[in-house]
Amino acid sequence: MALTPEQELAKAKEEYETVKAQAKARYDKIKARHTAAARKLDTRRKIIVGGALIDMASRDEKVAGFLKRLIDKLPRDQDKKVFEEWDALPGNDGGSSASSKTRNDEQGASSSADYTGLDSEGSETGNRSSSDSSPVPSDTKKVLSYYEQEAARRK
């Protein structure tokens, strides 16, 4: 039995709507997958940079001061609250400044000199060599951070 022109048009329109809905569903699924992957990569970047910043702050008073100011200027109270009892920074008022200072001394009192080119009295050091006098005994090894170890491994 032959279809009338109206029936034929209705059937074609129904097929068109079905194919269109399927294509839109595929598009939405692919778009959601790419959005989720981008969000996951962004989160990973934030974690890595945050970890590197915290690690560097544990070894460098200038970076620790910067990080403390950054935390103090967080706009949301709920974000600030996370750091209220956090004592990972050297010189933090959380009561662990002595242990942080000891840890920094064990790693080498010249850690800030490594970044600034200044010795503990604020004088320029120029290039440091192992024969220079150092407040750290020569038999004490500097503990490398995870990021320093990874950089050394890649070389």
| Number of domains within the chain | 1
Domain range enclosing 82: 18-116+136-154
The helix (run of H) or strand (run of E) holding residue 154 is helix 146-154
Indicate whether 40 belongs to any domain.
Answer: yes
Q: Give the predicted TM-score (pTM) of the model.
A: 0.48
The helix (run of H) or strand (run of E) holding residue 105 is helix 97-107
- Check pLDDT > 80 for residue 134: no
Per-residue pLDDT of 75-122, as tens digits, reads: 999 999 998 888 776 655 444 443 444 444 444 433 433 444 444 444
Per-residue pLDDT of 5-61, as tens digits, reads: 999 999 999 999 999 999 999 999 999 999 999 999 999 999 999 999 999 998 999
Total length of the chain:
155
Q: Are 91 and 64 in contact (CB under 8 A)?
A: yes
Indicate whether 37 belongs to any domain.
Answer: yes
Query: Using CA atoms, how far apart are residues 66 and 58, in angstroms rounded to an integer?
Result: 12
- The three-state secondary structure class of 125 is coil
Q: What is the pLDDT of residue 65?
A: 92
Indicate whether 130 belongs to any domain.
Answer: no
Indicate whether 131 belongs to any domain.
Answer: no
pLDDT (average), residues 127-150: 56
Indicate whether 122 belongs to any domain.
Answer: no
Indicate whether 93 belongs to any domain.
Answer: yes
Indicate whether 58 belongs to any domain.
Answer: yes
Q: What is the pLDDT of residue 121?
A: 42
Q: Given pLDDT bands bounded at 50, 70 and 90, which one contains residue 150? A: confident
Indicate whether 65 belongs to any domain.
Answer: yes
